[in-house]
Amino acid sequence: MPAPDHPRDPIAEARRQWAAHGWEAAADGMAALTSLMRAQQIALARVEAVLRPYDVTFARYEVLMLLYFSRTGALPMTKIGNRLQVHPTSVTNAVDRLESAGLVRRTPHPTDRRTTLVQLLPKGRELATKATKELNAQVFTSPDLSSDRGTTLVELLAEMRHEAGDF
Amino acid sequence: MPAPDHPRDPIAEARRQWAAHGWEAAADGMAALTSLMRAQQIALARVEAVLRPYDVTFARYEVLMLLYFSRTGALPMTKIGNRLQVHPTSVTNAVDRLESAGLVRRTPHPTDRRTTLVQLLPKGRELATKATKELNAQVFTSPDLSSDRGTTLVELLAEMRHEAGDF
DNA sequence: CACTGACAGTAGGACATCCAACTATCCAAC
DNA sequence: GTTGGATAGTTGGATGTCCTACTGTCAGTG
């Protein structure tokens, strides 16, 4: 057996404890969920480190890219929230900051006065292009994400998301 | 081709856009990372929904379980932060709230006056037991986590975490 | 044509996370 | 012994997320 005070995988350790307490049936699920939490934390930190010089967070970057890919460069707040699966108030927050930074602009909807359109500005489009280039180079092409492992991960998580009604 | 305004997988859609913009090499990595973010969000929401009646968040629950599994029911703040891979200030925050709820207690370390020990109280141990029973039943044994899929997920993410120096 | 329910967005509050800066303590090296 | 670097923990500030509650607007129903 390994030395007790040696750095081991804390999730494997937790899984062992689960089983030791008679919770065998739930041990795998616990390990899967905890792994998900930890891996997300690591991945997010890597992304945010790359985005920091551009003064945007991942949340705001996602909004920019959604607009970047849209035909007219503009989308209603609601549609942004639906696509990113975040609360309306989170969209308000992100757009507030993007607007303050001069990257997007709020525009009234031509026919529906309830709706606010978010319009990507040239400065925002430029930032999206540059930041994406950096992310592609420094994170998205890293071997632990882009290999077969990454593809398998996408498939597994897509099934999970689908069962949870994500799309 | 599917109807353009039909609900499709937004990640598959983003992957397609990535490729269309000449970023093929990064498309898989982007999809993997984004899947991770989304799946974590879903999983966390499921856990927090179960924990809400107990007035603890997942972060605080993790602290409780760490103490629950420790031999003496007490750990230094630093050790908690290391195990959970969170910032020292996050531990301070979580322990503050657990202490206010009467679930743990701060104790001075017998020999090192810099160190603060966090001691699990009976009320905290009881809550940990009950909450775990609920989580096991309602989340951790759900088929999308505990099947082979869950096991594969744990292995994949363990490799990722290991390469990122998580343990 | 008024009413009622659904929808779009925002304001205020709670929580978790991180970072930078600070105090207190320990320990090793001179 | 004293000094200086490392360690433990907290405080204050920023950000993102959610929830609840609220205002305005739209659209279908009577």
Most confident of B7-21, B97-111, B134-148, B153-167: B97-111
pLDDT cut 70: percent of chain B above it = 96
Q: Is the pLDDT of residue B1 over 50?
A: no
Residue found by looking up tokens 């460069």 in the block? A73
A142 touches chain B (CB under 8 A): yes
B11 touches chain A (CB under 8 A): yes
Interatomic separation, CA of residue A159 and C1' of nucleotide C15, rounded (Å): 30
Q: Which residue has the higher pLDDT, A22 or A4?
A: A22
Residue B36 has what pLDDT? 94
> What's the pLDDT tens digit per position in A105-162?
999 999 999 999 999 999 999 999 999 999 999 999 988 887 788 899 999 999 889 8
Which residues in A lie closer than 8 A to residue B84 (C-beta atoms)?
10
What number is the average pLDDT over the span A34-42? 94
Indicate the average pLDDT of chain B. 92
Nearest residue to D20 (CA, C1')? Answer: A89
A140 touches chain B (CB under 8 A): yes
Question: Is B119 within 7 A of strand D by CB distance?
Answer: no
What number is the average pLDDT over the span B125-141? 96
What number is the average pLDDT over the span A47-71? 96
DSSP A112: -
Which residues in A lie closer than 8 A to residue B58 (C-beta atoms)?
37
Instruction: Decide if A65 and B14 are in contact by the 8 Å CB cutoff.
Output: yes
Closest-approach residue (CA) in chain B for A137: B26
> What's the pLDDT tens digit per position in A60-119?
999 999 999 999 999 999 999 999 999 999 999 999 999 999 999 999 999 999 999 999
Going by pLDDT thresholds of 50, 70 and 90, the confidence category of residue B7 is: low
- Nearest nt (C1') from B61 Cα: C16
What number is the average pLDDT over the span B107-134? 97
> What's the pLDDT tens digit per position in B9-42?
899 999 999 999 999 999 999 999 999 999 999 9
| B141 Cα to chain A: minimum distance (Å) | 5
